[in-house]
Structure 1
């Protein structure tokens, strides 16, 4: 047993995020564990780019309100205490609503060291469409 001290806060890179996003690495499991976890904070309107995960991803919202959307047009409104799982290979994005900060814990497993495949940015039109039709 050991205390896992969070890593320093870093700004999310522009090739993976739109607007201001801040990350703290929490845990990177050692073999045989494949778990990686981070705390991710989004400013209002900030979001990830489209991406997928080889073994899926679990998001647990700790504060604020956010959106999680997939290519099929499904949108989930994420509130503090909610947990969403995206299955392996599902292209999706997530971020804060336009009028709220949002913080979530991101839990992923790596496959041969890879945790995500990053794709194009979410357009403003895609973001606004998700914002207007979020479901619970």
Structure 2
């Protein structure tokens, strides 16, 4: 049994439906519940839930930013050229405009965060299985 199984049902906000629209940019299964999608605002807010081992591809936010508020489980965040950071509930990540990065669950835990995002994402290559499996807490 994976750690933090309760995350799959949503810790604070509902986990949402399978994240099929963004599936090409993820390794593994994620779920998305959009919380704010007002076109008059230049920011979106979504609750993203990752099954164990799931992570998104490397990506960059152009003309904007991304703030991650970790609400449950255990995960990873990494910026290009830096060591991966182990994440758990209560952690906050700020990704500035133009920074290449990725985030997702650990191999053995569900993971959930709120993503507050402005700008346009540029999706890049997947995080390789070799790179991911070598991460250490």
Q: TM-score range by the shorter chain?
A: 0.7 to 0.9
Deviation at 1:15?
A: 1.4
For structure 1, which runs of at least 5 residues remain unmatched after alignment? 1-5
Normalised by the length of structure 1, the TM-score is: 0.82
Residues 7 and 40 of structure 1: CA distance in aligned 2, closer, same or farther (over 3 Å)? closer
CA contact (8 A) 1:7 1:26 kept: no
Q: Residue 14 of structure 1: SS of its match in structure 2?
A: helix
- State the aligned residue count: 122
Normalised by the length of structure 2, the TM-score is: 0.81
2:88 counterpart (79, 95, 99): 79
CA contact (8 A) 2:16 2:31 kept: no
2:29 is the alignment partner of 1:20: yes
Which residue number corresponds to residue 3 of structure 1?
none
In structure 1, how many angstroms separate the alpha carbons of the residues matched to 2:112 and 2:95?
17
Structure 1 segments, 4+ long, off by >4 Å, are none
Higher helix share: 2
2:35 is the alignment partner of 1:35: no
2:61 is the alignment partner of 1:53: yes
Deviation at 1:8?
A: 5.2
> Which stretch has the larger CA shift, 20-29 or 34-43?
20-29
